[in-house]
Amino acid sequence: MNIIILGAGRVGESVAESLVSEKNDITVIDTNPQRLRELEDRLDLRGVPGNGIQPSVLEAAGARDADMLIACAPLDETNLVCCKVAHDVFNIPTTIARIRSPEFPNDGPLMSNEGFAVDQVICPEESLTSYIRKLIEYPEALQVLEFARGTVSLIAVRAVTGGPMVRHVISELPQLVPNVEMRFVAIYRTDELGQDHQLVCDGTTRIEPGDEVFVLAATRDIRRVLDALRRRDEPVRRVMIAGGGRVGLRLAREIQDDCHVKVIESNLSRCEYLTTQLHSEALVLQGDSTDEELLETENVQDTDLFLALTSDDEDNIMACLLAKRMGARRVLALINRRAYADLVQGTQIDIALSPAQTVIGELLAYVRRGDVEAVYSLRRGAAEALEAVAHGDRKSSKVVGRRIDELPLPSGAQIGAIVRTIHDAEVYQRVIIPHHDTVIETDDHVIVFVPRKRMVREIEKLFQVSATFMF
């Protein structure tokens, strides 16, 4: 695809890096020529300096032949106007805008072709907040991702001694955790040198303490799946947030009714604003989140979840390491630089979260060929999980009417779950954990785990129907 990206900031750079690796033709527009040169030196893309809302700049970027525009400049208004110009002047088929303000909902009239002509709104702050809320709901998990409108979830969890499944082989699952269907799609184990290795998931695979396990199951069974791999943690009731920016404030607003919230913010005027936006029970503190004395005074050792959500990666890492050393039960650091995220793996930081990675999946669902409903980037972009819809019949489709063991899946890729609409006395969604002889039917939502990103194109081609098929 020919894709234009407006903005070479953190989100734009991450999006460009992800899409370039999939052999798309990428052009990046930014007002900073130096930043563009650095991107061109590192990635196989073209940079065009200038203001993306100007038709001449868009034309120089190849807008007349573009298939998609992704506007992720810092300002909402720039992204909105750029999408409008791209649609009205150049008839670019798909426009996506990064919008921070909640005043512009995805399905609002202002996003229609008569308005700003935005096909999809992405909001990194909203995606981050939803991600963190799942971790508060399921404190044992490293990641909880939903498919098929929440019917199925992919859970990442660190196995620990004491879980019923730990030190047992996968074939023993039905006896150890009866009446719960689940599929282990990947297990990653760290060796003596600190290197991660993916294990083959079959009946003989033994789960060891410390393994990072990816499991697909019906969302209603998430709690039992987690209980099978580790002891149940106490509910999250006390939360300390370092950073009262957009993400920190949005999260504090959403959890303040269920948790006791403390927010640490260094800027005095921002603190004053935060107090007007939160309940009186929420405590807003002016100070430095890496100040040991402040954390001790505020009883960080009693905190269930410490979240470092400032815009400074170094501060977030240091604050989390300090909070963990002082007794915080679980810590999460917001980290923009991929090198830093890789660096903290295996340290005392429980979760390193990349803002860009949380929104890339939303973008990838638009770039994927075939009917792809959802895409999630896993393992810092190395692996993916996607939800593809099967269409057609045995003649027009490579998957419909075929057994799982007949499908030419890439090595290591797994079909972990199928969601099928059942038309009985009433219509309902049935979750199927497939076996080798399960037959895929038309309109099935198929959840596929792909351990290496380069395999994604093969999965897309597998789910594409012949050109003569009509939806």
How many alpha carbons lie under 13 Å from residue 450 in its C-beta half-sphere? 25
Architecture of the structural domain at 363-463: 2-Layer Sandwich (3.30)
Tokens representing 346 are 């295996």
Residue 297's pLDDT is what?
A: 95
2-122 topology per CATH = Rossmann fold (3.40.50)
Tokens representing 94 are 């798909």
Total H helices, total E strands in the chain: 14, 22
Task: Determine how β-strand 238-242 pairs with β-strand 372-378.
Answer: unpaired
Domain parsing of the chain, residue ranges: 2-122, 140-229, 239-353, 363-463
Residue 469's pLDDT is what?
A: 46
Which of the 8 DSSP states describes residue 232? Answer: P
Domain 140-229 in this protein, CATH class: alpha beta
Alpha-carbon span 173 to 453, nearest angstrom: 29
Residue 365's pLDDT is what?
A: 66
| Domains 2-122 and 140-229 are alike in CATH topology | no
Contact 160, 166 (CB under 8 A): yes
Residue 371's pLDDT is what?
A: 75
Alpha-carbon span 449 to 455, nearest angstrom: 10
Tokens representing 402 are 């075929």
Q: With a cut of 70, which residues of the chain have pLDDT below it?
A: 21-22, 342, 345-346, 361, 365, 367-370, 380-381, 467-471
Contact 363, 71 (CB under 8 A): no
Specify the 3-state DSSP secondary structure of 263. Answer: strand
> Which residue shows structure tokens 């001790």?
296
Residue-wise pLDDT tens digits, 408-465? 998 888 899 999 998 877 888 899 999 999 999 999 999 999 888 778 888 888 888 8
List of E strands, 34-151: 46-49, 68-71, 94-98, 120-122, 141-147
Alpha-helical segments (H) within 153-221: 173-176
| Beta-carbon contacts of residue 314 (< 8 Å; ≥ 6 apart) | none
Residue 263's pLDDT is what?
A: 97
Contact 461, 455 (CB under 8 A): no
Radius of gyration of the chain (CA): 23
239-353 topology per CATH = Rossmann fold (3.40.50)
Note the pTM of the prediction, 2 decimals. 0.81
Alpha-carbon span 379 to 451, nearest angstrom: 9
